Chain A
């Protein structure tokens, strides 16, 4: 059966940038311009999960994102890898939101889209790491949600999900429509093909403003928050590492053994 899917993605600063470039100023994270935005790593897994279902069952994927000033080439990666449509909730008023206002706006957009079988989300964004938006959307839409999926199969209007648990996994069956939150075991997002990139270049994202999803600006972004960010800071760490030397790396290794014994650590 063809499956109608929505994949939620977020544009974030590249989380793989070296720790030293992350600097806080004025309660905000500032990053040098050479740190490029990317689609968050867990949303890439969500996209891959949707693409795998499409490979097997056929169907349609709509990528959905919320923010402002999207870099078109970055967010259009969702189209280039194989999504059929891209909807952007793009407006200044969407800025500065928290899990509550973000989940609410995404849920309203999904209500407007009306028909779907599965909503895929990543387990947490790569900037704020809160891990709440997906479950929030499911609560607002009153649909079941399965978290930490590493494999998804759709058969007879149900999804069979391998869900990661601390010492292994569970196989969970859920009736559709459902929201599935994806984790790393699903496999890396496939590369875009040349054909995919060319097709994406011709497609324009659909832009929805707050009014298009029936929300007032007081309900979204910073104004719609349920939590308040009081302070953003970086704890000071003093480097205190003692480097154990040796004539050769092997000797340094043996000297480390001596040091560990001497310090009674082992």
Chain B
């Protein structure tokens, strides 16, 4: 094998697929967006945040990721959910930007 061929092979081996890395990061972020509250586990997404923001009473039952109804204090859960969402999404943005610039490792 010539040196040129070896170089090409090495470069191909070092190349990393942005779409695969992006998906791996997305999956990790989804894990981080889980929030444990009052014995239930919630995925903090826009739906949960919008629901909690608009519900008129302060005490309610919300379905968690296991399909169980969990008794919640609306403002308390909303506060925790907002903090979780803000923190995790900021991290996602930073790491996503880092990923975009990596093509070889």
Do they bind each other? no
